[in-house]
């Protein structure tokens, strides 16, 4: 099957795909890592939290562009947040993190301001169920992603449909290694489950890109990550060099 070659910037927009060629996008560090080490670090790629496939499809396209044989596995319920809300996902945890010096005062103030804006837009109290990037999951559709995969001619993507607690089990990808993973699953329990599944399969010097470690909405992601690092001495956090006024970007590397 012939791979569709995207030649124009507007095509990324129409297809709702992250433009992996940009030098200042929020995922540029993750794509740079894949480009640099795809021949050196063993394993495939995992995305925990696919949503509408914006980054998943971009990763698949880039793998084809650089001639990589790696596959990408996208895990998602494709139906919004699962019913696994934990007290660590509650907004008040941001203040606890600040009081424990685990986030800065400016981080906390930005989180409060962000919550105020969301509540104004939603005309309701912002909570975990309404905190997706677009304020809802109405257009989250596995079928739409599959249609895009077919249109683009991509055969290197495997969609894994269902709650992480059921799909991320010991037998799945049993003999596979993971080069790197993109964690974009928001909630405390989702992060805990994804870490448990990914880490044993992650190759040495592989990374987990943490989309919500510096979040204004999801404190549970940072809490789960910090707990994981405390329990795993070969897990090392590092901050990517961000642009001025840009969100902090963090990854976890396996030493």
DSSP states along 156-179? SEEEEES-HHHHS-TTTTTT--EE
How many separate domains does the chain show? Answer: 1
Q: Is the CB of residue 163 less than 8 Å from the CB of residue 82?
A: yes
pLDDT at 24: 84
Strand partners, 44: 178
> Is residue 111 a part of any domain in this protein?
no
Distance of alpha carbon 70 from alpha carbon 64, whole angstroms: 9
Residue 91 falls inside a structural domain: no
pLDDT tens per residue, range 30-79? 999 999 999 999 999 999 999 989 999 999 999 999 999 999 999 999 88
Residue with the bigger pLDDT between 77 and 83: it is: 77
Q: Which residue has the higher pLDDT, 95 or 123?
A: 95
Summarize pLDDT for 99-141 with one digit per residue, the tens.
999 999 999 999 999 999 988 887 655 555 444 444 444 455 7
Alpha helices by DSSP H, the chain:
9-15, 28-37, 54-65, 93-99, 105-122, 142-152, 164-167, 188-198, 219-231
Instruction: Give first-to-last CA distance, the chain, whole Å.
Output: 39
Residue 234 lies in a domain: yes
**pTM to 2 decimal places:** 0.91
Cβ atoms 52, 144 nearer than 8 A: yes
Asked whether the beta carbons of 177 and 201 are under 8 A apart, the reply is: yes
Q: Give how far Cα 162 sits from Cα of 10, 80, 142, 169, 179, Å.
A: 32, 11, 11, 12, 23
CA distance 220 to 134: 19
Among 129, 126, 102, CA closest to 115: 126
Alpha-carbon dihedral 89, 95, 96, 101, rounded to 10 degrees:
120
pLDDT at 12: 93
The residue ranking higher by pLDDT, 239 or 118, is 239
**H-helix or E-strand containing 140?**
none
- pLDDT value at position 170? 77
Among candidate residues 153, 147, 141, the one with its CA nearest the CA of residue 61: 153
Say what the pLDDT of residue 243 is: 85
Let me know if residue 29 belongs to a domain: yes
132-161 pLDDT, tens digit per residue, is 444 444 455 799 999 999 999 999 999 999
Residue 57 lies in a domain: yes
Residue 164 has pLDDT above 50, yes or no: yes
Taking 50 as the threshold, does the pLDDT of residue 202 lie above it? yes
Domain-embedded: residue 223: yes
Q: For residue 235, is it within any domain?
A: yes
- Domain span at 76: 9-84+137-254
Q: At 31, which CATH number? A: 3.40.50.150
Residue 125: inside a domain, yes or no? no
């Amino acid at each position: 099957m012939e791979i569709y070659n995207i030649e124009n910037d507007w095509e990324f927009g129409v297809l709702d795909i992250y433009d992996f060629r940009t030098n200042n996008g929020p995922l540029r560090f993750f794509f740079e890592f894949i480009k640099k080490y795809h021949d050196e670090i063993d394993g495939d790629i995992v995305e925990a939290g696919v949503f509408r496939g914006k980054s998943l499809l971009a990763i698949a396209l880039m793998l084809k562009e650089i001639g990589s044989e790696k596959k990408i596995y996208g895990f998602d319920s494709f139906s919004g947040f699962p019913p696994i809300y934990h007290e660590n996902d509650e907004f008040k945890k941001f203040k606890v993190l600040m009081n424990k010096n685990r986030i800065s005062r400016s981080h906390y103030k930005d989180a409060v301001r962000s919550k105020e804006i969301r509540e104004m837009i939603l005309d309701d109290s912002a909570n975990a169920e309404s905190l997706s990037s677009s304020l809802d999951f109405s257009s989250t559709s596995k079928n739409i992603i599959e249609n895009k995969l077919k249109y683009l001619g991509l055969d290197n993507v495997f969609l894994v449909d269902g709650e992480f607690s059921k799909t991320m089990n010991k037998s799945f990808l049993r003999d596979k290694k993971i080069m790197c993973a993109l964690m974009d699953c928001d909630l405390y329990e989702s992060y805990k489950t994804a870490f448990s599944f990914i880490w044993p399969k992650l190759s040495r010097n592989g990374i987990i890109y943490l989309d919500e470690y510096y979040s204004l909405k999801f404190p549970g992601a940072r809490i789960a990550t910090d707990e994981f690092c405390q329990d795993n001495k070969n897990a090392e956090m590092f901050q990517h060099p961000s642009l001025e006024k840009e969100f902090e970007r963090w990854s976890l590397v396996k030493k």
